[in-house]
Amino acid sequence: MNIAIIGTGFVGVVSSAVFASHGHHVWGIDIDSSKIAKLNQGIAPFFEPGLEELLQEGIRSELLTFTTDYAAAIPSAEVVMITVGTPSSPEGKADLSYVLSACESLGPHLRPGAVVVIKSTVPPGSFQQVAAVLSNTTKVSYHLASVPEFLREGSAVADTVSPDRIVLGVTDEISENVLTKLHKPFQAPLVVTKPESAQLGKYAANAYLALRIGFINQIADFCEASGADVNDVIKIIGHDRRIGSHYWYPGLGYGGSCFPKDVRELAYSSKVLSLGETLFTSLNSINSARIAKKLAAWGKSVNGFSHKRVAVLGLSFKPSTTDLRESPALTVIPYLLDQGATVVGFDPMAVEEAEKLLPAHEKLQLTSNLATAIEDADILLALIEWPQIITHNYQAKKGRPQWFIDARNQFNPQQLRQAGFTYIGIGSPISGGLS
Ligand code: UDX
């Protein structure tokens, strides 16, 4: 099949490489010519495990080409996928301008009978808006469908190759048949539905996962205040087969490019639809306030951050990615600097990206060397569970107090106490150590 994929973000690049690896002819399109030039050399614009190998294979086999030219890519495409971003506006509304502008650009070149697929995360109700723009810009008949994407950063290739489900939001039999055939090799359960359900299904999945995180964080706070231990509470609830023990670890709240944005959109849309008070509004405000709340509590436990040297371990929003969107480091580091701390930020891969996003400051240093980061630190603050961070053998310097703050509950408190640290986790009482 000939496929054109518009937008070379996570979803677009990964989908392009995966569809090419299935033997399809794929054109990836973006307006950013420097990105396109690199992609044509097999260089991904971001780190994602397994992606560059797949890109290079696609380019070598000549099944995969990237271009800025809609006129080169769209006329032959039987399926055109839109995978551009839908960022949050200040009031939480998903901004559809990139989706609509992609439609304006592709419309004039569309081949008769092509299936146009919205893969970007768009709220229910957007389908008609997209159809209206497309119909204004094309003279040919086309089919419009919504096929949301559920991949996670850091495992995007694996998630695309083996998805938990494929959702086809369609309004006619032709698009259903074309898209069923295209997705058959993935061997995933297929849900065929109307576009609105497909779109809301994507928001509901993300909001539910975000809610789980918000819920366990509140239970963790309850544990700290009442002397219970959240790890044991997770074991207890996890044995319930209706609940399960996965995707339950507490921390500083959810971040990344999807959960915060999608929860805000649901909160916004619920207001527009006059649904009254919703979980989404509360979830968003609880999650947004969480980092400041935890930092204030930890500040008290370490007798203030002022004049302390803090090693902040993990700058990306999660392991195996260089993405810092809504990463805890972006809030934590400015707060610590503001409190008068000296900060050394460590990340195995995301330092270059962090340098662009964190303000230059005389008391801030960023490094991809863990030993440099922890040298002489008074406080080690582990933000992200990169394997390099959680497998390191940490030892406190003899004779002086050192704190280890485990913001992901990834470490063995006993071991760290024996290594001389005062251990502070999430959802358990603070005890032990030198102080
Ligand atoms: C998420 C969804 O998982 C994916 O299906 C969707 O397509 C896009 O959004 P992603 O943002 O890549 O993917 O990361 P994910 O691993 O789900 O984590 C999101 C955030 O939740 C991160 O900040 C992570 O640290 C946090 N998280 C996750 C927790 O705090 N606790 C958990 O138990 C799991």
Greatest CA span in the chain, whole angstroms?
78
- Judged by DSSP in three states, 373 sits in helix
DSSP collapsed to 3 states, 77-127 = CCEEEECCCCCECCCCCECCHHHHHHHHHHHHHCCCCCEEEECCCCCCCHH
Q: Is the CB of 280 under 6 A from ligand 1?
A: no
The answer to whether the CB of 30 falls within 8 A of the CB of 52 is no
Measured in Å, residue 145 CA sits from the centre of ligand 1 at 26
Measured in Å, residue 258 CA sits from the centre of ligand 1 at 8
pLDDT score at 428:
84
Query: Which atom of ligand 1 lies at the shortest distance from residue 155's CA?
Result: 12
Q: Is the CB of 259 under 6 A from ligand 1?
A: yes
Query: Which atom of ligand 1 lies at the shortest distance from residue 257's CA?
Result: 11
How far apart are the C-alpha atoms of 122 and 266, rounded to whole Å? 11
Please list the rounded mean pLDDT of every run of 10 residues in the chain (435 residues): 98 98 98 97 96 98 98 98 95 95 98 98 94 97 98 97 98 98 97 98 98 98 95 96 93 97 96 94 97 97 97 98 97 98 98 96 98 96 98 92 95 96 88 37
Give Cβ neighbours of residue 187 (< 8 Å, ≥ 6 apart). Answer: none
pLDDT score at 432:
38
pLDDT score at 400:
83
Helix and strand element counts for the chain (H, E): 17, 14
The answer to whether the CB of 331 falls within 8 A of the CB of 312 is no
Measured in Å, residue 339 CA sits from the centre of ligand 1 at 29
How far apart are the C-alpha atoms of 306 and 68, rounded to whole Å? 50
Q: What angle do CA 285, 289, 293 make, to 5 degrees?
A: 150
How far apart are the C-alpha atoms of 80 and 117, rounded to whole Å? 6
Q: Ligand 1, atom 15: nearest CA belongs to which residue?
A: 152
Nearest to 99 by CA among 64, 148, 51: 148
pLDDT score at 366:
98
For 178, the token pair is 């074309």
Query: Which atom of ligand 1 lies at the shortest distance from residue 247's CA?
Result: 33
Q: Is the CB of 319 under 6 A from ligand 1?
A: no
How far apart are the C-alpha atoms of 220 and 251, rounded to whole Å? 9
116: number of Cβ within 10 Å = 27
Query: Which atom of ligand 1 lies at the shortest distance from residue 149's CA?
Result: 7
pLDDT score at 401:
81
Cα separations in angstroms, 301 against 263, 317, 359: 32, 25, 27
Measured in Å, residue 361 CA sits from the centre of ligand 1 at 30
Give Cβ neighbours of residue 52 (< 8 Å, ≥ 6 apart). Answer: 42, 43, 44
Helix (H) or strand (E) holding 366: strand 364-367
Considering the candidates 63, 168, 258, 389, report the single residue annotated as catalytic: 258
Q: Is 103 annotated as catalytic?
A: no
Q: Ligand 1, atom 34: nearest CA belongs to which residue?
A: 247
Query: Which atom of ligand 1 lies at the shortest distance from residue 255's CA?
Result: 23
Nearest to 366 by CA among 313, 321, 292: 313
Strand partners, 28: 5, 66
Q: Which residues of 397-409 are buried (b: 16+ CB within 10 A; e: fewer)?
A: eeeebbbbbbbbb
306: number of Cβ within 10 Å = 11
239: number of Cβ within 10 Å = 10
pLDDT in tens, 261-271: 999 999 999 99
Which of the 8 DSSP states describes residue 307?
A: T
How far apart are the C-alpha atoms of 427 and 220, rounded to whole Å? 4
Q: Ligand 1, atom 17: nearest CA belongs to which residue?
A: 152
How far apart are the C-alpha atoms of 178 and 156, rounded to whole Å? 24
For 80, the token pair is 């055109």
Strand partners, 379: 310, 403
Distance of CA 122 to the CA centre of its chain: 16
Q: Is the CB of 251 under 6 A from ligand 1?
A: yes
Of the CA atoms within 13 Å of residue 259, those in its CB half-sphere come to 23
Q: Is the CB of 155 under 6 A from ligand 1?
A: no
Helix (H) or strand (E) holding 65: strand 64-67
pLDDT score at 435:
29
Q: Is the CB of 258 under 6 A from ligand 1?
A: yes
Ligand 1 pocket check: which of 121, 231, 318 to mutate, most ligand atoms within 8 Å of Cβ?
318
For 377, the token pair is 């630190």
Handedness of CA 345, 346, 347, 353 (dihedral sign): positive
How long, in residues, is the chain? 435
How far apart are the C-alpha atoms of 251 and 295, rounded to whole Å? 12
How far apart are the C-alpha atoms of 404 and 399, rounded to whole Å? 16
Ligand 1 pocket check: which of 46, 209, 389 to mutate, most ligand atoms within 8 Å of Cβ?
209
pLDDT in tens, 364-422: 999 999 999 999 999 999 999 999 999 999 999 888 889 999 999 999 999 999 999 99
**Matching residue, tokens 């358990």:** 428
Measured in Å, residue 201 CA sits from the centre of ligand 1 at 16
